[in-house]
């Protein structure tokens, strides 16, 4: 599904440069649910951005679903993002002047689907996150948990191979966090591959595998017994 080999990334800071990723090797198979953990500055967000094609590595290989991701033009990156990836952000990043349905339909618009197909698909995914009756509400009229579920529906809309979640529960209270995790677990049960960046232990334990980053290298990579979120809800 995803294969990363000797990935390096550094950012220039003034005259010197900050070496953030110092040779990452990572392989994620289809159907996995991986938590990427680490303190701030460990490079976990950078890794996720590179996987999400929002950023490019300095050196190393990155192969996504058999396609080597290298020397991407902005246009190509946009097409790959649309085709392969679904993003879930900490701050939801919904477009505030569009209602829930329009937000979910947005990636489909960039896929070039016609209006009717988009509406149908978006409704289907809204139903899946249980917010169909909120379809015509603006994000400002929704709670944090609802917003994140809309964002998940949006990430799912384009039917991506890989879901990337950057601190998906970072802006939510514990109860809502568990609800979101329960839902992500359900998606994983259905076969979706999910990558979650988090610094919360309880969230990581709800995944099937935990990768710990420290100072730009993988410190630990282990399978865990998944804690089902449903028992807390």
Q: Which of residues 78-97 bind another protein (CB under 8 A)?
A: 78-79, 81-83, 87, 89, 93, 95, 97
**What is the contact mask toward another protein in residues 53 to 72, using x (rule: CB under 8 A)?**
-xx-----------------
C-beta of 26 vs 158, nearer to another protein: 158
CB 178 to another protein: min, Å:
26
CA separation (Å) from 60 to 4, 6, 68, 79?
7, 5, 11, 22
Interaction with another protein in 11-50: which residues (CB under 8 A)? 49
Q: How far is the CB of 81 from another protein (least distance, A)?
A: 5
CB of 230 to another protein, least distance (A): 30
- Report strand pairing: 85-88 vs 33-37: unpaired
User: Which lies closer to another protein via its Cβ, residue 63 or residue 138?
Assistant: 138
Closest CA to 204 of 32, 87, 36: 36
Nearer to another protein, 155 or 229 (CB): 155
CB 6, CB 25: distance < 8 Å: yes
Does residue number 154 form part of the binding site for another protein (CB under 8 A)? yes
**In this complex, which beta carbon is closest to another protein, that of residue 81 or of residue 121?**
81
Nearer to another protein, 115 or 228 (CB): 115
Closest CA to 219 of 25, 8, 17: 25
Estimate to the nearest angstrom the gap between the alpha carbon of 232 and the chain centroid. 23
Put the strands of the sheet holding 2-13 in their side by side order.
16-28, 2-13, 59-64, 67-68
116 binds another protein (CB under 8 A): no
Q: Residue 100, class by beta-carbon neighbours within 10 Å (0-12 exposed, 13-18 middle, 19+ buried)?
A: buried
196, 203 contact by CB (below 8 A): yes
The residues binding another protein (CB under 8 A) are: 49, 52, 54-55, 74-75, 78-79, 81-83, 87, 89, 93, 95, 97-98, 106-107, 109-111, 115, 154, 158
């Amino acid at each position: 599904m995803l294969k990363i080999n000797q990935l390096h990334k550094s950012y220039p800071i003034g005259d010197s440069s900050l070496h953030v990723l110092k040779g990452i090797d990572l392989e994620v198979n289809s159907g996995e649910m991986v938590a990427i953990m680490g303190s701030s500055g460990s490079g976990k967000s950078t890794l996720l951005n590179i996987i999400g094609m929002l950023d490019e590595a300095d050196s190393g290989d990155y192969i996504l679903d058999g396609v080597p991701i290298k020397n991407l033009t902005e246009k190509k990156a946009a097409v790959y993002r649309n085709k392969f990836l679904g993003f879930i952000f900490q701050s939801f990043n919904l477009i505030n002047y569009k209602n829930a349905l329009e937000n979910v339909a947005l990636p489909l618009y960039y896929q070039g689907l016609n209006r009717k197909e988009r509406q149908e698909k978006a409704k289907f995914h809204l139903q899946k996150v249980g917010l169909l009756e909120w379809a015509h509400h603006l994000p400002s009229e929704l709670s944090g948990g609802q917003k994140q579920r809309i964002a998940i529906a949006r990430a799912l809309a384009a039917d991506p191979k890989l879901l990337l979640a950057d601190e998906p529960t970072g802006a939510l209270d514990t109860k809502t966090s568990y609800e979101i995790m329960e839902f992500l677990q359900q998606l994983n049960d259905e076969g979706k591959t999910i990558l979650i960046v988090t610094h919360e232990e309880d969230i990581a334990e709800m995944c099937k595998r935990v990768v710990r980053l420290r100072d730009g290298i993988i410190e630990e990579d282990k399978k865990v017994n998944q804690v089902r979120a449903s028992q807390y809800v």
